[in-house]
Amino acid sequence: MQSSASVVAEPANPELDAVRLEALDCQRCDLWQGRTQVVMGEGNPHAGILLMGEAPGANEDATGRPFVGRAGQLLDSALEEAGIGRNDVYITNVVRCRPTAVKGGSVTNRAPRAGEIAACEPWRWLEISLVNPQVVVCVGGPAAKALIDKKLKITEQRGRFFDKEDGRAYIATLHPAYVLRLYSADRDAYRTARANLVSDLRQAQERAATKPR
Ligand code: SF4
């Protein structure tokens, strides 16, 4: 077992901590009315790779942490298979409050609307600029459209790097919730999609290792 004396703590990021605190009271869009809490990003505050997902779901809203439900478990296993520790990356979402809809009398998750994604943009760019990663992985279509190109087709353009003006490399990959939905519908498609997710994460890791900040 590693001794506590040999553990090297990540340097703090006080500016990011201040942004996280400030965001907790955000009411920039109507999603604040249905949330339990704002779900800001977590992970290495100086990570070389930042993962940008879609939105908190019920589990994330309840715990205050991104990607902790079944999709989060799949993401964790894909990260591990790609040789990346979850604590080595920074994980966040394009919106930080849970979007909900009522179906059949039950409250369910829904995709964030364009206006909600736009309203949350200041927090998104503050997290990116303060973590300052070399590579941003857009996890799913909404993140890829918001950060890379609003016309991006995720199934056709995932796994490619887009070098942006901010000096970072952006890459889109499949959302683990989408990969999970394939499991019961088409097992071969599930296996292919999961392998693509791992491959994209591995590419991000390799790029971050070679790209200077
Ligand atoms: S989703 Fe973003 S912009 Fe909307 S209330 Fe939550 S933190 Fe604010």
Q: pLDDT band at residue 2, thresholds of 50, 70 and 90?
A: very low
**Residue 7: pLDDT band by 50, 70, 90 thresholds?**
low
Cβ–Cβ < 8 Å for 189, 179:
no
- Ligand 1 pocket residue status of 37, Cβ below 6 Å: no
Q: Are 185 and 198 in contact (CB under 8 A)?
A: no
Q: Which CATH number fits domain 13-210: 3.40.190.80, 3.40.470.10, 3.40.50.300, 3.30.1130.10?
A: 3.40.470.10
Whether the pLDDT of residue 5 is over 50: the answer is no
The residue ranges of DSSP E strands in the chain, in sequence order, are 42-43, 49-53, 90-93, 100-103, 106-109, 135-139, 161-163, 169-173
CB-side neighbour CA atoms (13 Å) of 11: 6
Ligand 1: which of 120, 124, 126 to mutate, judged by most atoms within 8 Å of the beta carbon? 120
Q: In sequence order, what are the beta bridge partners of 138?
A: 52, 172
| Mean pLDDT, the chain, whole residue set | 94
Residue 148 near ligand 1, beta carbon < 6 Å: no
- Sorting pLDDT into bands at 50, 70 and 90, what band is 9? low
Q: What is the mean pLDDT of residues 142-156?
A: 96
pTM listed for this prediction: 0.93
CA distances from 50 to 69, 125, 186 (A): 19, 12, 30
pLDDT tens-digit profile of 19-56?
999 999 999 999 999 999 999 999 999 999 999 999 99
Residue with tokens 């829904």: 110
Q: What is the model's pLDDT at position 144?
A: 98
Q: Ligand 1: which of 27, 30, 40, 60 to mutate, judged by most atoms within 8 Å of the beta carbon?
A: 27
Residue pair 173/203 in contact (Cβ under 8 Å)? The answer is no
119 CB under 6 A from ligand 1? yes
Q: Looking at the CA of residue 32, tell me the nearest atom of ligand 1.
A: 5
Atom of ligand 1 nearest to the CA of 27: 5
